[in-house]
């Protein structure tokens, strides 16, 4: 049974959160307002990529290219199998929104984009913009003799900056295992890793990075069952960006469960 003091604490937190929600300014065209920051009252626009979108990126996983020499046509199944596997893994991580395969194929057909367009950086980025993605995952594989190498990277659509990359190498017979390894490598620490890379590349500002790091810190505390620490980190994230509905939902859920 919860103590009256604990109940009062949770009730106070909930009331404070609801008050903040009703008082939170709406995002302007220049980006989300930030509580306690001089930038909130400044006319200087927030850099593109700041706010929750820095974390919950929408990603499109493109078909992979077979870059090997002749004689390995039997590996062509990897062109579609790799993006399917990677897309499933990324979606399961909960840190990215993955565009459905059929939706991406529909865009390819509508825009009449073939392998030649997808082979160029400009063509891939254009497809990502049309599909509504902020980030792209693409790569290739090559077999030389009995050795297979699989490369994959996550790229920011607007700037073309590579936010994360990975490579797996092994026997041709272990193609599926290598694909799964690449998927896991891309998904590992994905959210905060992409956020830090975006900030380093100038795609997002330091406030957005700070909010993202606090959010993922809170998510990890939540996964570990450390409710009080998770609540504290979500609250700190919301002080930076009161418009972060995702952090607010997590916090409300935890506060409700802790009663």
Of 113, 161, 121, nearest to 139 by C-alpha is: 121
Query: The domain spanning residue 143 has which CATH number?
Result: 3.40.50.10070
d(CA 79, CA 140): 8
Q: Is residue 249 part of a domain?
A: yes
133 lies in the same domain as 84 = yes
161 lies in the same domain as 233 = no
pLDDT of residue 48: 41
> Is residue 83 within 8 Å of residue 62, measured between CB atoms?
yes
> Is residue 131 within 8 Å of residue 99, measured between CB atoms?
yes
189 lies in the same domain as 210 = no
Distances (CA, A) of 55 to 43, 65, 136, 176: 25, 28, 14, 29
Of 122, 117, 180, nearest to 150 by C-alpha is: 180
pLDDT of residue 208: 82
184 lies in the same domain as 131 = yes
188-210 exposure pattern, b = at least 16 Cβ within 10 A, e = fewer: eebbbbbbbbbbeeebbbebbbb
Q: Would strands 65-66 and 135-144 be described as parallel, antiparallel, or unpaired?
A: parallel
173 lies in the same domain as 71 = yes
171 lies in the same domain as 141 = yes
Query: The domain spanning residue 222 has which CATH number?
Result: 1.25.40.10
Q: Is residue 77 part of a domain?
A: yes
Domain that holds residue 246: 205-259
210 lies in the same domain as 190 = no
Q: Would strands 162-171 and 147-156 be described as parallel, antiparallel, or unpaired?
A: antiparallel
> Is residue 45 within 8 Å of residue 27, measured between CB atoms?
no
pLDDT of residue 90: 85
Collect all residues with Cβ–Cβ distance below 8 Å to 22 and sequence separation of at least 6. none
pLDDT of residue 171: 92
Q: Report the domain count for the chain.
A: 2
pLDDT of residue 69: 66
Q: Is residue 177 part of a domain?
A: yes
pLDDT of residue 174: 92
Collect all residues with Cβ–Cβ distance below 8 Å to 64 and sequence separation of at least 6. 78, 79, 82, 83, 138, 139, 140, 141, 150, 152
Distances (CA, A) of 90 to 94, 98, 137, 179: 7, 7, 10, 13
pLDDT of residue 112: 64
188 lies in the same domain as 228 = no
What string of pLDDT tens digits covers the 259 residues of the chain? 455 554 445 444 444 444 444 444 333 333 322 222 222 222 233 344 344 446 667 888 988 988 876 666 788 899 889 999 999 988 887 777 888 877 777 776 776 665 555 666 777 777 777 778 888 898 999 998 889 999 999 888 888 888 889 999 999 889 999 999 999 998 887 777 877 887 887 877 888 888 888 988 898 898 889 999 999 999 999 999 888 888 888 899 998 865 5
Q: Cα-Cα-Cα-Cα dihedral of 153, 158, 159, 160, to 10°?
A: 30
Q: Is residue 32 part of a domain?
A: no
Distances (CA, A) of 39 to 31, 33, 201: 11, 8, 21
218 lies in the same domain as 239 = yes
């Amino acid at each position: 049974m919860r103590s009256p003091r604990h109940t009062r604490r949770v009730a106070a937190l909930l009331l404070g959160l609801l008050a903040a929600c009703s008082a939170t300014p709406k995002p302007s065209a220049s980006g989300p307002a930030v509580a306690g920051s001089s930038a909130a009252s400044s006319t200087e626009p927030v850099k593109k990529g700041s706010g929750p979108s820095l974390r919950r990126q929408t990603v499109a996983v493109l078909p992979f290219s077979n870059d090997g020499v002749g004689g390995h046509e039997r590996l062509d199944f990897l062109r579609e199998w790799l993006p399917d596997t990677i897309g499933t893994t990324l979606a399961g991580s909960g840190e990215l929104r993955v565009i459905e395969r059929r939706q991406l194929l529909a865009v390819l057909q509508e825009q009449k984009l073939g392998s030649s367009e997808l082979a160029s950086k400009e063509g891939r980025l254009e497809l990502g913009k049309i599909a509504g993605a902020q980030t792209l995952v693409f790569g290739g594989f090559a077999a030389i003799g009995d050795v297979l190498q699989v490369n994959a990277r996550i790229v920011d659509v607007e700037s073309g900056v590579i936010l994360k990359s990975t490579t797996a190498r092994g026997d041709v017979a272990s193609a599926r295992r290598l694909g799964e390894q690449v998927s896991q490598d891309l998904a590992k620490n994905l959210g905060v890793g992409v956020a830090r890379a975006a900030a380093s590349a100038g795609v997002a500002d330091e406030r957005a990075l700070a909010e993202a790091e606090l959010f993922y810190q809170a998510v990890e505390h939540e996964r570990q069952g450390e409710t009080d620490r998770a609540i504290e980190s979500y609250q700190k994230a919301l002080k930076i960006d009161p418009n972060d509905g995702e952090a607010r939902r997590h916090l409300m859920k935890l506060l409700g469960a802790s009663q």
